[in-house]
Amino acid sequence: MIVKQHAEAAQEFIKDEARTDWHDETLWFVRHKRDKAVNTLPEWESLREWASQIKNHTLSNLDHYLKNFEERAISNGIIVHWASDAEEHNRIIHKIIADNKIDKIVKSKSMLTEECHLNDYLKSRGVKILDTDLGEYIVQLREESPSHIVLPAIHLKRQDVSATFHEHLKTEEGNFDPQYLASTARHHLRERFVESELAITGVNFAIAETGSFVVCTNEGNADMGVHAADIHIACMGIEKLIPKTEHLGVFLRLLARSATGQPITTYSSHFNKPRQGQQMHVVIVDNGRSRQLGRPDFRNSLKCIRCAACFNTCPVYRRSGGHSYHSTVAGPIGSILNPNLDMKANSDLPFASTLCGSCTNVCPVKIDIHDQLWKWRQQIVANGYVTSGKKAGMNGMAWVLSNPKLYRLSGTIVRWVMRKFPLVVNNRLNVWYKQREMPAAPEKSFRDWFKENQET
């Protein structure tokens, strides 16, 4: 399958301008809700700073905290697994499923399992998983990937959901009343929760001092699955750790406000140990994270708590849709995480930004996202993942701009040509000109004017 580069996919997305406006306004609404929520806390900027420092400290002592967590979790009765990559993560989960002869599995939202393509891995081995987060459930029915890490089906209108439910759940055709659709989904999901034998969840925060972990949802679907099933598998990246329970308050306050403008997620579920007769597994996954930790310029991207505030504020994301980023994690944060996973395949992503810096400002853990986008651009070019045309253009530009006389001569010629023969630039080959007029070309540059007027 040929994956379209961001610019091309975005161009297609924008062709439906009314829908693009709807997408932009929907996500801007979330950004606006976030603004209102954060402005109720005078200490907001201090919270961000604390969260950043806690995460920086944790990342600098990650080996220590991982071992702490493992030790405590084991003593709580949790079975701990280590996976160096996506393949190993999937293999571990498949083995637990196979060993226990399970075929009824529910999963609440976990971007890590999306990143590892767990569903596909299990499907090819005859194991089916049901995604129980409503948004994830919708995209799963449509055989799509999530377009947003917090709002997986935000690219869909209720009319689209209605059509999907009509096809798969036999809802009335053309009935797109949200309450009707949600209650149908709830009815179907409820049956699957009750009969589930194994529940998979993600992990929002793992606490080193207690060996426990916290899962945040708004739908309660993580709890529903875990309480009904005899086996719970929680999947976490190595960066999900925080040292102490007392740090949790900082992050829970930041997470929900940043994500949706809520003061707190509806359910912040704490898991400490398996109940009697239950198996509780935690799979701790690296999958490139330790490599990112070893990159001084990019290591602090691992502070990310997956709130997606940077998606909602990004003017490019809002107008190009999550699928144009051809990755599990889209948006600005995805554009600094994905090149670590595959620099060549994701070499377009750091360029899908104007470097406006809004992402950095909304980030609750103060990741310098736009600076890292700039740095990834340097890495990508240095590694040769750039077209020869662009390279030649940049070399030419650098040469002209390094030589004052040549710069002035080129400027004079270009302006003269633009005045005398405008069609040389005003044509289809000029991408700027497609939807924009060129600037007027004055006879004199400022330098020309200055030479004539400086004494007056």
Which of positions 326-365 make contact with another protein (CB under 8 A)? 350-358, 360-362
Shortest spacing between CB 184 and another protein, in angstroms? 35
Candidate list 124, 276, 436, 455; residue touching another protein; CB under 8 A: 436
Nearer to another protein, 95 or 390 (CB): 390
| Smallest separation, CB 127 to another protein (Å) | 39
Distance CA 405, CA 9 (A): 41
Residue whose pair of structure tokens reads 């498949």 in the numeric block: 94
Q: In this complex, which beta carbon is closest to another protein, that of residue 47 or of residue 139?
A: 47
Residues that contact another protein, how many (by CB under 8 A): 76
Closer to another protein at the Cβ: 194 or 414? 414
Residue 3 makes contact with another protein by CB under 8 A? no
What is the token pair recorded at 108? 């609440």
Start-to-end CA span in the chain (Å): 66
Among 19, 26, 41, 163, binds another protein (CB under 8 A): 41
Residue in this structure with the two tokens 């997305």, named with its chain if needed: 13
- 12's tokens: 């297609």
Q: In sequence order, what are the residues at sequence separation of 6 or more whose Cβ sits closer than 8 angstroms to the Cβ of residue 389?
A: none
Residue of 19, 28, 117, 274 interacting with another protein (CB under 8 A): 28
Stretch that binds another protein, among 59-67, 85-93, 207-215, 381-389 (CB under 8 A): 381-389
Handedness of CA 179, 184, 187, 193 (dihedral sign): negative
In the list 3, 397, 409, 424, the residue contacting another protein (rule: CB under 8 A) is 397
The answer to whether residues 111 and 147 touch, using CB atoms and an 8 Å cutoff, is no
Q: How would DSSP label each residue in 277-326?
A: T-EEEEEEE-TTHHHHHT-TTTGGGGG-----HHHHH-HHHHTT-GGGG-
Among 18, 42, 101, 170, binds another protein (CB under 8 A): 42
Region 199-228 residues binding another protein, contact defined as CB under 8 A: none
DSSP state of 240: G
Residue that is written with structure tokens 């809802």 in the block:
171
Residues 6+ apart with CB under 8 A from 95: none
Instruction: For residue 315, give every residue at least 6 positions away whose Cβ sits within 8 Å of its Cβ, in sequence order, or none.
Output: 354, 356, 358
C-alpha to C-alpha distance for 302 and 333, rounded to whole angstroms = 10
Nearer to another protein, 48 or 81 (CB): 48
Choice between 265 and 360, CB closer to another protein:
360
Q: What is the per-residue binding string for another protein in 242-281, x denoting contact by CB under 8 A? A: ----------------------------------------
Name which position in 38, 154, 156, 198 contacts another protein (CB under 8 A). Answer: 38
Of the pair 77, 357, the CB lying nearest another protein is at 357
Q: By CB under 8 A, is residue 388 in contact with another protein? A: no
Burial 134-147 (b: 16+ CB within 10 A, else e): bbbbbbbbbeebbb
Nearest distance in Å: CB 377, another protein: 4
Encoding tokens for residue 216?
A: 């945040």
Residues 133-192 that bind another protein (CB under 8 A): none
Nearer to another protein, 82 or 351 (CB): 351
Out of 117, 142, 315, 343, the residue judged to bind another protein by CB under 8 A: 315
Residue 128 makes CB contacts below 8 A (sequence gap 6+) with 103, 105, 122
CA pair distance 236, 66, nearest whole angstrom: 11
- Strand 105-107 relative to strand 129-131, pairing: parallel
- Which range in 151-159, 162-170, 218-226, 441-449 contacts another protein by CB under 8 A? 441-449
Quote the least distance from Cβ 181 to another protein, whole Å. Answer: 30
For the segment 83-122, give every residue that binds another protein (CB under 8 A): none
Q: Within positions 405 to 434, which residues make up the interface with another protein, using CB under 8 A?
A: 407, 411, 414-415, 431-432, 434
Q: How many C-beta atoms lie closer than 10 Å to residue 2's C-beta?
A: 4
Among 98, 403, 409, 421, binds another protein (CB under 8 A): 403
In the bound state with another protein, the residue whose beta carbon lies nearer, of 92 and 352, is: 352
Window 43 to 62, contacts with another protein (CB under 8 A): 44-45
What is the nearest approach in angstroms of another protein to the Cβ of residue 4? Answer: 12
Task: Give backbone dihedrals phi and psi of 407, rounded to 5 degrees, phi first.
Answer: -60, -45
**C-alpha distances in angstroms, 334 versus 162, 339, 403, 433, 438?**
30, 9, 39, 31, 34
Nearest distance, CB of residue 370 and another protein, angstroms = 8
149 touches 111 (CB < 8 A) = yes
Q: Which is nearer to another protein, 117 or 408 (CB)?
A: 408
Stretch that binds another protein, among 82-90, 109-117, 173-181, 392-400 (CB under 8 A): 392-400
Question: DSSP E strands: which ranges in 21-125?
Answer: 79-83, 105-107
- Tell whether residue 14 is a contact of another protein (CB under 8 A): yes
